[in-house]
Amino acid sequence: MNAVAASELPASPDRTLAERILAGDEGSFRLLYRRHTPRLHQLALRLVGGAEADAEDVVQDTWIKAVEKLDSFRWESAFGTWLHAIAVNVAREAMRRRGRRQEVEFPEQAEPAAPAPLERVEVMDLERAIAALPDGYRTVLVLHDVEGYTHEEIAEQLGVAAGTTKSQLFWARRAVRTQLADERRTT
Amino acid sequence: MNGNDDLTPGERRAFEALPRERAPRAGLEDRVVAALQRRGLLAIPLTSSAAQRRRLTPWLVGAVAAALALFVGGFAAGQYFGARSGADAALRGAQASGSAAEVAAHAERAGTMYVAALVALNQLSDSADAPARARARQVAIAALGSAAEEVAHLAPNDPLAAAVLRGLNERSKSQGPAPSSRSVVWF
């Protein structure tokens, strides 16, 4: 075995750690895990709509899939980007399993009135509004407006056309604004 | 939406202010590591026998001891008492049994018999010559490897079987070609 204490390689590049993980080294895995999991966990939590237990399952399954596929990763992108792409698919699968996935789109003829854009938005209110979105809309909104991916990147990750993600983002933003406006009216 | 569907500056600030990282519960790291070890994706540390004992649950330790006793005892019985007929009878009974419960019961009886034979071997060990003892040890180790392979077939992710096979593999590498005594394993 090629055991490495977690304190021995604090600044090692992801690739070095990955090579040691492929040799079965637990210490290197723990380093890589600690480096990437806070961001991965936040992404997972947001994708699944704020359910902590579901987010932890997504984090675990994402790491398992990542280690399983580690020897095929070509390092043409950042490890974190690759990890997040896996997490998105794992989260979608988790949402599908729990039956909460709602891919419906607003039919054109039933288009709701556009809520006014908001100039001041509280972070907590925004977080709640995102969590309340249908799963499909939430995924696109989180990836685009929070994580900063382009429509083309999101479309590739989700296996859909870029036009679909644009449409979903449009309706996701509208739903968020409606939710925020409703909250403002009731407080 | 506001005409072109862009976020307002206030909305954009709110999205940018959302936290990007969130540490999961501390226990998740160990849970993920354990899951990877169960799948054989990370090695189970074997550098310290004390650490290994802490990892193995008492029943697993007992199972290892019983397995070793079974193999050594079986060899001893064959060598010293001509007791193979008992093992053969147990094996024939197991093969002829119709249910998994009966097969398991046969295996349990055979194991008990082998453990008793090992006790007999220990009692006679002072009178046994060195070559015979060495041969008994070799057969026991070869049989342990065969048994671990069978367990690995039954449960590919079993960490104990993987650890036994890994240890035996490292042993055979350090000692050169396997001795011909492996071929004398008769169960």
Summarised one tens digit per residue, pLDDT across range A24-44 is 999 999 999 999 999 999 999
Find which of A63, A151, A165, A177 to mutate to test the B interface (most B CBs within 10 Å of its CB). Answer: A63
Residue A104 has pLDDT above 50, yes or no: no
- Residues B4 and A174: their CA atoms lie apart, in Å, by 12
pLDDT score of A54 more than 90: yes
Residue recorded with tokens 């895995």: A29
The pLDDT tens digits for B76-118 are 555 555 444 555 555 565 555 555 655 555 555 555 455 555 5
Query: What is the pLDDT at residue A182?
Result: 84
| A147–chain B nearest CA distance, Å | 8
Is the pLDDT confidence value at A74 over 90? yes
Sorted by sequence, the CB contacts under 8 Å of residue B107 that are 6+ apart come out as B90, B94
Give yes or no for a contact between B164 and B148, defined as CB atoms under 8 angstroms apart.
yes
Out of A29, A38, A169, name the one closest to residue B23 (CB): A38
CA distance A175 to A145: 14
pLDDT computed for residue B44 by the predictor: 83
pLDDT tens, A62-71? Answer: 999 999 999 9
First to last CA, chain B: 76
The rounded distance, in Å, linking the Cα atoms of B10 and A153 is: 25
User: In terms of Cα–Cα distance, which of A152, A159, A148, A176 is closest to A39?
Assistant: A148
> Quick one: average pLDDT of A150-179?
94
pLDDT at A106: 46
Residue A55 burial (10 A CB sphere; 0-12, 13-18, 19+): buried
Contact A41 B23 (CB under 8 A): yes
- Is residue A89 scored above 60 in pLDDT? yes
pTM for the full predicted model: 0.59
pLDDT at B128 (0 to 100):
55
Q: Are the beta carbons of B41 and A42 separated by less than 8 Å?
A: no
Is B41's Cβ below 8 Å from some Cβ in A? yes
Low-confidence ranges of chain B (pLDDT < 70): 1-5, 46-140, 142-143, 145-146, 148-157, 172-187
* ipTM given for this complex: 0.85
Question: Tokens standing for B151?
Answer: 């367990």
Whole-angstrom distance, CA of residue B166 vs CA of residue B44: 10
CA distance B89 to chain A (A): 41
Question: Is A41 at the interface with chain B, CB within 8 A?
Answer: yes
**How confident is residue A18, by pLDDT bands cut at 50, 70 and 90?**
very high
Whether the pLDDT of residue A110 is over 50: the answer is no
Residue whose token pair is 């709110």? B14
User: A33-42, A96-105, A153-162, B120-129: which has the minimum mean pLDDT?
Assistant: B120-129
Structural domains of chain A ordered from first start: 14-97 (1.10.1740.10), 108-186 (1.10.10.10)
Contacts of residue A43, Cβ cutoff 8 Å, sequence gap at least 6: A84, A87, A88, A142, A147
Residue with tokens 């070095």: A16
Q: Does the beta-carbon distance from B42 to A67 stay under 8 Å?
A: yes
> Where would I find the beta strands (DSSP E) of chain B?
none
Looking at residue B88, its pLDDT comes to 54
Instruction: For residue B19, give the chain A residue with the closest CA.
Output: A42
* Angstroms from B101 CA to nearest CA on chain A: 35
The CA distance from B172 to the nearest CA of chain A, in Å, is 15
Report pLDDT for B3.
Answer: 41
Contacts of B8 in chain A (CB under 8 A): 117-119
Closest chain A residue by Cα to residue B10: A119
**What's the confidence (pLDDT) of residue B54?**
52
B8·A117 Cβ contact <8 A: yes
